[in-house]
């Protein structure tokens, strides 16, 4: 256990930062309170650096954690989480307590620790990131469940407290109840897996699946787990909350929601699918896909029933997300639906798995998912940062309002070039236009799926990219080509938080820069996605190959 | 390096322009265009025109090796000619936009430079993804040019343009990636293996079979080893992408709209170069990658071309908007161009490539001419314009000249290429030898949509005299509508829009724009035109600048019409190479894969017999 701690340094750093932030936020001095954001940023940044530096590479992780497959995913995932979290934190400045602090500064009111939320907000942010990193570490279903809940619980509160309006609270409540239902579903799935295998340890589950096949009970458990986790990644059929919650929350928190729970969900799905293994063959005719499935050395895909489920979920998620996004006029609702669609794209990578050509980036679906998570995190942070950095000037009611429709973005490149151009660049990147990062995120999904022979899925992906172009085009070119019509309402101004604009600019720079110099990151993703299940299990369990022989013969 | 500079120089100037004051934008853009054109000329001077098939100035830098993507450039004579066309039209567009663009100079000229860079990139790319990136990236500048600087219906036009092309090219990408996948699954050849191992130490493995790469050369070689079914699917994917860009019937509907709404410079670039990306793509990828499938489905493609030629021509006939007329004539003209490619013989391919150049010159010039009239009268309607020869003799001369070039008057450039394409279609018939079955042969190819009710197997990839004959009708139609247009606009009684009429008799004075616009606010479009007079009045006839814009194009039209031989000579190399690929694929197909032909969708899926001759 003590070795285990050694590679939890990033989480430990985050936890220390959390504690410091919580205490400092109660200080009477404004400067100290203000420093909480900096401390939080230091926490996430140092967590990213620690993940990069202190996590041992594949073999050693295995030694300390007992993690068998996808072991090298941990440092890559945690580094990317830390980096994107730092970016997201930049957008969070002034989310809560803005009016409060203004009043205190004016001397209207004195500081009251009971009324201040700032420290809690940053603490919840950090807790959520800690949970996300723990998801990557998970080697046990209990651990995974706790990590997922640690990721999600703070987000419910963040949504509710992010705006002073009732909409935020409504969104928070909706998110909480549906989230609880999702959690119940995957917890039930975990329980069924435990019932089928007799262990909650993912490695033992993997070995049991590899040696004894997957029973119907086990498969049901896996399917339910994935269905429940679909809530986290906002995939059909658990996507209904997404537009309402994104719309209700402050834009920066919506941006947070689009990355953090989604990443947690994808890491969990990868871990669970990894335990099942991507080394199955299509079952021969006459065998129910629900019956016991055995892995084979030659196979390169998930068990048929799981593959089919994910296939349907992926296709539906892409299509539903994109088609409904077409109909939106509210920017946040549109981005919410598009974030559903992006989950669908990434599911393609999950279906493909490490693929036949696991050692190459172009054929490895897991690597493609990991790289896409990074690209999506960056582009998404950029778009939401721009939304967060803009607001309608306070009208008669004296409170600034967030911008809502696409027409609010018109002419942004002229009025606020430092916000308008990042918007254009990030949206074009989300659209998947070359040579921006989004294109190079989508290309590996494309290549991996084609190499795995999933041609129909690739066509669905391609058609969906085209549909996505319709609405991203509106979003991308409203700032650039349209002229602002100031007729209605109060003028759009930049929010008085420089870090939000900075986050937008940094994201846009990354969208271009990482596309041009992305080879190193792709290398990282590729080695992170090296899937070692087969070897590890074979070496540990000598009889692993003995059982499935008959079925192999039948399969061929 | 010289080829890389073609991409970098315009981008650099675009960046400079973004930082410079708006007043400098035009001169900076012109400087940027001239510099990049100079680089293009330099590249052309260093090119060995006698060995057209050899890719010169090749240079490769590692880029995203993990995905098999390299920054790899090179140019053969086809690329070189397209670069020359781009380098010619770029500066012309800047000069031509001097008075037409009156606001947001930085936006206009900046994106024009970016567009120029992307177009160069398409023609020099030797890596599929680099090609694709540039191919796709042309959409953004063009979108902005149409969306911001276009006329009334510009929003709709630009969105339609973007979505059509984007959708098509995503599907084309799937086809191209499939080829890469096929290549990666090939066994690594022994020599390659050692080479790959050697290169692995340095970073990326050398492109070759069995290696994941997007190197065009390698993929082309691999793709030709695909089975005929695979080839057919890849061809379908590629054609979806390129046919939208060309555009072929029935995916042409974005073009007239985009052309009509685009600003003059946009139309010129669109007609002059962007449409050629489609035909260039067919020549560079569709044919060499999947020659067997292309030869097999050439009749189908040719039929689409012929429908486009006739349909485009007939629509032109009833147009009253001059610009729309020229736009639809592009559909017809590009039909000829692809018909030449579908003929799959040397005459057709050379004619088609020549056609790309010639169409760029003559149609580009026609759009320039129309833009010049539009700047003066703010209308393009033939009902409101007529007899301009009386007012604008110089303009009328150019207009008639370029119309003649476009019609295909012998002695001018259009004739040579159009004739070659028709001749090629005529020649490209294996049924020609057994002339008794000629008619049935053409029918067998499904000319009238008949599915597979065939007796003769004379149509494996060949077209026939019927194709040429029907396409020839298109030529006549083209003459009719273009001459009708010129007849109305140039000759006849002088007709000017209201507001001009009062001054018309005096001639030789300026200030038409303002009056015309006031009287015709609705017809003339939106507020962008309000500023058309900011630069002071334009004289009735062309200024020296405008003559300077048109004159080089006119000279080239004559030169290429009278003496196209050097171009044809240098095209011989790449064209012959491609024809060889088709021929060998065709003979292989006949020997090995005769059954595949019998069930091909081109023949309606119905089994036919007697394919083996």
CB proximity B188 to A under 8 Å: no
Mean pLDDT of B102-126: 90
CB pairs under 8 A between A and B: 94
Residue of B nearest to A522 (CA): B66
**CA atoms of A130 and B198, how far apart (whole Å):** 44
Q: What is the DSSP string of B480-523?
A: HHHHHHHHHHHSSS-B--TTTHHHHTT-S---HHHHHHHHTHHH
- Whether residue B162 and residue A458 make contact (CB cut-off 8 A), yes or no, is no
Q: Residues of B with CB below 8 A from A449's CB?
A: none
Question: Which of B63, B64, B177 minimises the CB distance to A446?
Answer: B177
CA angle centred on A524, ends A518 and A529, rounded to 5°: 125
Q: How far is A54 from chain B (nearest CA, A)?
A: 25
Q: Residues of B with CB below 8 A from A455's CB?
A: 174, 178
Interface test with B, best of A362, A424, A443, A466 (most B CBs within 10 A): A362
**CA atoms of B153 and B433, how far apart (whole Å):** 52
Q: Is the pLDDT of residue B223 over 90?
A: no
CB proximity B95 to A under 8 Å: no
Q: Where are the domains of chain A?
A: 1-133
What pLDDT band is residue B376 in, cutting at 50, 70 and 90?
A: confident
What pLDDT band is residue B196 in, cutting at 50, 70 and 90?
A: low
CB proximity A522 to B under 8 Å: yes
Cβ(B26)–Cβ(B100) under 8 Å? Answer: no
CB proximity B143 to A under 8 Å: yes
What pLDDT band is residue B583 in, cutting at 50, 70 and 90?
A: confident
Q: Residues of B with CB below 8 A from A462's CB?
A: 170-171, 173-174
**CA atoms of B107 and A357, how far apart (whole Å):** 45
What pLDDT band is residue B521 in, cutting at 50, 70 and 90?
A: very low
What is the enclosing helix (H) or strand (E) of A493?
strand A492-494
List Cα–Cα distances, A347 to A115, A437, A461, B365, in angstroms. Answer: 43, 19, 11, 50
Q: Is the pLDDT of residue B451 over 70?
A: no
Q: Residues of B with CB below 8 A from A466's CB?
A: 163, 166-167, 170
The reply to whether omega before B216 is within 30° of 0 (cis) is no
What pLDDT band is residue A254 in, cutting at 50, 70 and 90?
A: very high
- Whether residue B177 and residue A447 make contact (CB cut-off 8 A), yes or no, is yes
Exposure string of B94-112, with b = 16+ CB inside 10 Å and e = fewer, is bbbbebbbbebbbbbbbbb
- From chain A residues 400-459, the ones with a CB under 8 A of any chain B CB are 428, 433-435, 439-440, 443-444, 446-447, 450-451, 455, 458-459
Q: Comparing A163 with B431, which gets the higher pLDDT?
A: A163
Mean pLDDT of A520-546: 63
Exposure string of B12-39, with b = 16+ CB inside 10 Å and e = fewer, is bbbebbeeeeeebbbebbbbbbbbbbeb
What pLDDT band is residue A63 in, cutting at 50, 70 and 90?
A: low
- Whether residue A462 and residue B173 make contact (CB cut-off 8 A), yes or no, is yes
- From chain B residues 304-323, the ones with a CB under 8 A of any chain A CB are none
**CA atoms of A40 and A57, how far apart (whole Å):** 27
CB proximity A371 to B under 8 Å: no
Question: Which of A444, A470, A477 minimises the CB distance to B67?
Answer: A444
Give the pLDDT confidence score for residue B118 in this predicted structure. Answer: 93
Residues with Cβ < 8 Å from B244, sequence gap 6 or more?
B164, B165, B167, B168, B169, B251, B254, B278
10 Å Cβ neighbour count for A489?
A: 12
Residue of B nearest to A515 (CA): B64
- Whether residue A362 and residue B65 make contact (CB cut-off 8 A), yes or no, is no
Residue B166 per-residue DSSP state: H
10 Å Cβ neighbour count for B429?
A: 26
Cβ(B244)–Cβ(B168) under 8 Å? Answer: yes
Interface test with B, best of A76, A318, A438, A466 (most B CBs within 10 A): A466
Q: Comparing A135 with B603, which gets the higher pLDDT?
A: A135
Q: Residues of B with CB below 8 A from A481's CB?
A: 143-144, 147-148
Give the pLDDT confidence score for residue A339 in this predicted structure. Answer: 94
CB proximity B230 to A under 8 Å: no
Residue of A nearest to B160 (CA): A470
Residue A218 token pair: 């086990």
pLDDT tens-digit map of B348-362: 899 999 999 999 999
Give the pLDDT confidence score for residue A286 in this predicted structure. Answer: 56
Cβ(A53)–Cβ(A47) under 8 Å? Answer: no
CA angle centred on B144, ends A333 and B3, rounded to 5°: 120
CB proximity B164 to A under 8 Å: no
Strand partners, B127: B215
Q: Comparing A93 with A194, which gets the higher pLDDT?
A: A194
Q: Is the pLDDT of residue A545 over 60?
A: no
- Whether residue A470 and residue B67 make contact (CB cut-off 8 A), yes or no, is no
Q: How far is A352 from chain B (nearest CA, A)?
A: 14
Give the pLDDT confidence score for residue A256 in this predicted structure. Answer: 94
- Whether residue A523 and residue B66 make contact (CB cut-off 8 A), yes or no, is yes
Q: How far is A335 from chain B (nearest CA, A)?
A: 19
Mean pLDDT for chain A?
85
Q: Residues of B with CB below 8 A from A514's CB?
A: none
Q: What is the DSSP string of A74-100?
A: HHHHHHHHHHHHHHHHHHTTTSSSHHH
Interface test with B, best of A442, A481, A514, A520 (most B CBs within 10 A): A481
What pLDDT band is residue A396 in, cutting at 50, 70 and 90?
A: low
Strand partners, B381: B321
Phi-psi region of B498 (alpha: psi -120 to 50; beta: other; left: phi over 0): beta
Q: Is the pLDDT of residue A307 over 50?
A: yes
Q: How far is A527 from chain B (nearest CA, A)?
A: 11
Interface test with A, best of B141, B181, B182 (most A CBs within 10 A): B181
Residue of B nearest to A480 (CA): B144
- Whether residue A435 and residue B137 make contact (CB cut-off 8 A), yes or no, is yes
Q: Residues of A with CB below 8 A from B68's CB?
A: 362
Give the pLDDT confidence score for residue A533 in this predicted structure. Answer: 56
Q: Is the pLDDT of residue B595 over 50?
A: no
Give the pLDDT confidence score for residue A292 in this predicted structure. Answer: 65
Q: Residues of B with CB below 8 A from A470's CB?
A: 159, 163
Lowest mean pLDDT among B114-128, B389-403, B577-591: B577-591
Q: What residue spans of B68-153 are helical by DSSP H? A: 77-96, 105-124, 128-137, 139-149
Q: Is the pLDDT of residue A189 over 90?
A: yes
**CA atoms of A554 and A110, how far apart (whole Å):** 78
Residue of B151, B84, B96, B114 whose CA lies nearest to B18:
B114
3-state helix/strand/coil string of B252-300: CCHHHHHHHHCCHHHHHHHHHHHHHHHHHHHHHHHHHHCHHHHHHHHHH
CB proximity A470 to B under 8 Å: yes
Question: Which of B66, B133, B167 minimises the CB distance to A526?
Answer: B66
CB proximity A477 to B under 8 Å: yes
- Whether residue A357 and residue B144 make contact (CB cut-off 8 A), yes or no, is no
Cβ(B103)–Cβ(B535) under 8 Å? Answer: no
In angstroms and rounded to an integer, the radius of gyration of the C-alpha atoms of chain A is 23
What pLDDT band is residue A53 in, cutting at 50, 70 and 90?
A: confident
Residue of B264, B267, B492 whose CA lies nearest to B376:
B264
- Whether residue B212 and residue A363 make contact (CB cut-off 8 A), yes or no, is yes
pLDDT tens-digit map of B300-346: 999 999 999 999 888 888 888 888 899 999 888 999 999 999 988 88
What pLDDT band is residue B591 in, cutting at 50, 70 and 90?
A: low
What is the enclosing helix (H) or strand (E) of B249?
none
Q: Comparing B121 with A96, which gets the higher pLDDT?
A: B121
Residue of B88, B254, B235, B293 whose CA lies nearest to B166:
B254
Question: Which of A434, A458, A469 minimises the CB distance to B162?
Answer: A469
Q: Residues of B with CB below 8 A from A480's CB?
A: 144
Q: How far is A284 from chain B (nearest CA, A)?
A: 25
Q: How far is B196 from chain A (nearest CA, A)?
A: 14
- Whether residue B147 and residue A466 make contact (CB cut-off 8 A), yes or no, is no
Cβ(A448)–Cβ(A349) under 8 Å? Answer: yes
């Amino acid at each position: 256990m003590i070795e285990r701690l050694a590679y939890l340094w990033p989480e430990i750093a985050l936890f220390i930062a959390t504690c410091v932030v919580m205490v400092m936020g109660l200080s009477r001095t404004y400067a100290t309170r203000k420093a909480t954001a900096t401390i939080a940023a230091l926490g996430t940044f140092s967590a990213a650096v620690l993940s990069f530096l202190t996590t041992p590479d594949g073999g050693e992780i295995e030694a300390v954690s007992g993690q068998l497959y996808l072991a090298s995913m941990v440092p890559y995932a945690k580094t990317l989480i830390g980096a994107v979290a730092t970016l997201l934190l930049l957008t969070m400045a002034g989310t809560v307590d803005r009016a409060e602090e203004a009043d205190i500064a004016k001397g209207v009111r004195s500081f009251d620790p009971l009324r201040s939320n700032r420290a809690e907000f940053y603490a919840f942010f950090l807790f959520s990131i800690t949970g996300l990193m723990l998801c990557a570490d998970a080697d046990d279903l209990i651990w995974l469940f706790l990590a997922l809940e640690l990721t999600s619980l703070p987000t419910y509160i963040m949504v509710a407290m992010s705006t002073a309006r009732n909409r935020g609270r409504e969104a928070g409540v909706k998110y909480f109840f549906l989230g609880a239902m999702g959690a119940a579903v995957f917890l039930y799935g975990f329980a069924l897996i435990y019932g089928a295998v007799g262990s909650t340890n993912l490695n033992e589950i993997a070995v049991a699946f590899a040696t004894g096949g997957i029973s119907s009970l086990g498969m049901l458990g896996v399917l339910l787990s994935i269905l429940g986790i679909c809530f986290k990644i906002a995939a059909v059929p658990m996507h209904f909350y997404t537009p309402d919650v994104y719309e209700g929350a402050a834009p920066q928190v919506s941006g947070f929601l689009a990355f953090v729970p989604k990443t947690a969900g994808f890491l969990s799905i990868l871990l669970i699918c990894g335990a099942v293994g991507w080394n199955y063959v299509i079952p021969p005719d006459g065998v129910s896909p629900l019956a016991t499935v055995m892995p084979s050395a030659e196979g390169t895909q998930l068990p048929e029933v799981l593959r089919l489920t994910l296939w349907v979920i992926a296709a539906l998620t892409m299509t539903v997300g994109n088609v409904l996004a077409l109909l939106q006029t509210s920017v946040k609702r549109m981005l919410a639906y598009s974030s559903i669609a992006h989950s669908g794209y990434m599911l393609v990578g999950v279906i493909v798995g490490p693929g036949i050509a696991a050692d190459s980036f172009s054929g490895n679906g897991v690597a493609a998912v990991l790289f896409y998570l990074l690209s999506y995190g960056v582009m998404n942070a950029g778009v939401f940062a721009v939304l967060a950095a803009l607001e309608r000037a306070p009208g008669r009611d004296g409170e600034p309002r967030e911008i809502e429709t696409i027409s609010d973005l018109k002419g942004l490149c002229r009025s606020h070039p430092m916000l308008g151009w990042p918007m254009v660049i990030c949206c074009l990147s989300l659209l998947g236009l070359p040579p921006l990062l989004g294109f190079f995120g989508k290309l590996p999904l494309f290549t991996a799926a084609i190499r795995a022979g999933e041609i129909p899925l690739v066509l669905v992906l391609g058609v969906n990219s085209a549909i996505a172009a319709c609405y991203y085009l509106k979003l991308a070119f409203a700032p650039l080509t349209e002229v602002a019509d100031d007729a209605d309402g109060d003028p759009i101004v930049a929010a008085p938080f420089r870090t939000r604009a900075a986050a937008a600019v940094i994201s846009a720079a990354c969208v271009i820069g990482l596309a041009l110099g992305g080879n190193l990151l792709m290398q990282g993703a590729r080695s992170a996605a090296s899937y070692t299940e087969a070897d590890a299990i074979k070496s540990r369990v000598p009889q692993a190959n003995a059982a499935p022989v008959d079925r192999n013969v039948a399969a061929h | 390096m010289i080829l890389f500079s073609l991409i970098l120089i315009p981008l650099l100037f675009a960046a400079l322009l973004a930082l410079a004051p708006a007043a400098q934008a035009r001169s900076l853009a012109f400087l940027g265009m001239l510099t990049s054109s100079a680089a293009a000329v330099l590249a052309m001077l260093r090119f060995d025109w006698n060995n057209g098939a050899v890719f010169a100035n090749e240079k490769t830098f590692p880029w995203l090796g993990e995905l098999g993507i390299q920054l790899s450039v090179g140019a053969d004579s086809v690329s070189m000619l397209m670069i020359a066309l781009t380098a010619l039209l770029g500066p012309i567009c800047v000069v031509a936009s001097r008075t037409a663009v009156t606001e947001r100079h930085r936006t206009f000229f900046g994106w024009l430079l970016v567009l120029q860079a992307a177009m160069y990139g398409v023609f020099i790319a030797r890596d599929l993804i680099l090609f694709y990136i540039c191919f796709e990236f042309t959409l953004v500048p063009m979108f902005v040019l149409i969306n911001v600087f276009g006329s009334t219906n510009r929003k709709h036009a630009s969105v339609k343009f973007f979505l059509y092309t984007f959708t098509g090219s995503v599907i084309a990408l799937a086809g191209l990636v499939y080829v890469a996948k096929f290549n990666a699954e090939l066994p690594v050849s022994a020599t390659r293996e050692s080479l790959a191992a050697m290169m692995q130490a340095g970073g990326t493995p050398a492109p070759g079979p069995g290696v994941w790469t997007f190197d065009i050369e390698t993929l082309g070689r691999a793709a030709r080893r695909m089975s005929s079914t695979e080839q057919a699917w890849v061809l379908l994917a590629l054609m979806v992408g390129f046919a939208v860009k060309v555009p072929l019937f029935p995916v042409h509907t974005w073009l007239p709209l985009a052309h009509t709404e685009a600003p003059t410079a946009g139309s010129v670039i669109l007609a002059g170069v962007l449409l050629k990306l489609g035909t260039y793509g067919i020549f560079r990828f569709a044919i060499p990658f999947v020659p067997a499938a292309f030869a097999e489905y050439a009749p189908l493609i040719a039929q689409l071309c012929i429908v486009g030629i006739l349909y485009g021509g007939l629509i032109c006939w009833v147009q009253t908007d001059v610009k729309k007329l020229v736009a639809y004539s592009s559909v017809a003209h590009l039909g000829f161009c692809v018909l030449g490619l579908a003929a799959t013989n040397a005459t057709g391919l050379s004619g088609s490539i020549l056609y790309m150049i010639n169409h760029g010159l003559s149609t580009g010039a026609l759009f320039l001419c129309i833009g010049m009239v539009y700047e003066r009268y703010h209308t393009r309607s033939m009902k409101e314009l007529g007899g301009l020869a009386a007012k604008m003799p110089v303009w009328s001369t150019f207009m008639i000249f370029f119309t003649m070039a476009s019609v295909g008057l012998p002695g001018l450039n259009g004739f040579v290429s159009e004739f070659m394409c028709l001749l090629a279609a005529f020649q490209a018939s294996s049924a020609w030898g057994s002339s008794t079955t000629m008619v049935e042969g053409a029918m067998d190819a499904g000319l009238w949509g008949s599915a597979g009710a065939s007796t003769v197997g004379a149509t494996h990839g060949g077209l026939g005299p019927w194709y040429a004959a029907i396409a020839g009708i298109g030529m006549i139609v083209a003459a009719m509508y273009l001459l009708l247009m010129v007849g109305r606009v140039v000759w006849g009684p002088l007709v000017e829009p209201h507001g001009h009429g009062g001054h018309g008799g005096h001639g030789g004075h300026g200030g038409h724009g303002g009056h015309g616009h006031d009287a015709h606010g609705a017809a003339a479009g939106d507020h962008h035109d309000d500023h058309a007079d900011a630069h002071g009045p334009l004289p009735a006839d062309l200024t020296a600048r405008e003559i300077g814009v048109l004159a080089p194009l006119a000279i080239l039209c004559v030169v290429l019409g009278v003496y196209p031989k050097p171009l044809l000579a240098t095209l011989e190399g790449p064209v012959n190479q491609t024809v060889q690929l088709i021929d060998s694929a065709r003979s292989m197909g006949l020997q090995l894969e005769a059954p595949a032909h019998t069930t091909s969708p081109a023949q309606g899926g119905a089994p036919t017999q007697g394919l083996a001759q």
